[in-house]
Amino acid sequence: MPKVSVLTAIKQLKRPIFTTREAASCAGGSTSGTVQALNHLAREGVVIKIARGIWGVDMGNKRTSQYSVIPFLLPHGRGYVSFISALHLHGIIEQIPQLVTLASTAHTKTIRTKLGTFYLHRIAPSFFKGFDWYKGNGDFLIAEPEKAFVDCLYLSARKKKQFGHFPELHFPKSFSFKKARDWAGQIPDIRIRSYVNRELEKVRGNNS
């Protein structure tokens, strides 16, 4: 493959976020040479360095959001938006979270980027489900409302009551507590499952 400029390679990707490896592959150059070229473009304001190995470029009609970077944060795995962040996006919580909360089978950690801070919470691999692309065709995965709420309760039983207290909740008519109980029933740990079911009943009673 003949070499092309890194800027030309970026445009060929036709998306606002890309990795160093992708740019190097499209440009037909080395990784080190591509990093140097990208750093030069960053100094000129053409691209921004979002995180290590992840870059962004203005595509005009394609607005770059903090959620767009999520698929690039876990190159060897997957994560989906859940917990408080998902409840906010689903309109159940009005308060905007200060960071984006993700569920993953990877180790719990914080990832800081130029677009925002992401906190990965580890959940059991068997409970890593109940998510889809945002609004059906978005560029990141998100838990369905019931699963996001159960994920919160699941974590609060394990992480010293983290996510055990919520700001005011606004459940839409489409929210199904039955579906939430079904998700709770799939929690592998009996102690955690019992705790989540008790909390679900409390919340349902307060919102009936």
CATH number, position 30:
1.10.10
CA angle (112 as vertex; 106, 114 as ends), nearest 5: 135
How far is 67 from 118, CA to CA, in rounded Å? Answer: 9
Which tokens hold the place of 89? 């996006």
Where is average pLDDT lowest: 35-49, 76-90, 156-170, 177-191?
156-170
Percent of the chain with pLDDT over 70: 92
Question: By residue range, what is the domain housing residue 21?
Answer: 6-57
How far is 101 from 161, CA to CA, in rounded Å? Answer: 16
1 found inside a domain:
no
Total length of the chain: 208
Q: In sequence order, what DSSP letters do the residues of 121-138 get, joined into one string?
A: EE--GGG--SEEEGGGT-
3-state secondary structure of 19: strand
138 found inside a domain:
yes
Residue 1 has a pLDDT of 37
Query: Does residue 79 sit in the same domain as residue 10?
Result: no
Of the residues 19, 40, 57, which one is the last residue of a structural domain? 57
Cβ(120)–Cβ(79) below 8 Å? yes
200 found inside a domain:
yes
Query: Does residue 10 sit in the same domain as residue 103?
Result: no
For 63-103, write each residue's pLDDT tens digit.
678 898 998 998 778 899 999 999 999 999 998 888 999 99
152 found inside a domain:
yes
Query: Does residue 18 sit in the same domain as residue 75?
Result: no
Query: Does residue 105 sit in the same domain as residue 178?
Result: yes
Query: Does residue 95 sit in the same domain as residue 188?
Result: yes
Residue 135 has a pLDDT of 84
Paired with 141 in beta bridges are 133
Query: Does residue 88 sit in the same domain as residue 131?
Result: yes
3-state secondary structure of 103: strand
150 found inside a domain:
yes
Q: Which residue, among 104, 111, 100, 95, has the nearest Cα to 165 in the 3D structure?
A: 95
Query: Does residue 197 sit in the same domain as residue 122?
Result: yes
Residue 137 has a pLDDT of 74
Query: Does residue 171 sit in the same domain as residue 136?
Result: yes
How far is 206 from 16, CA to CA, in rounded Å? Answer: 44
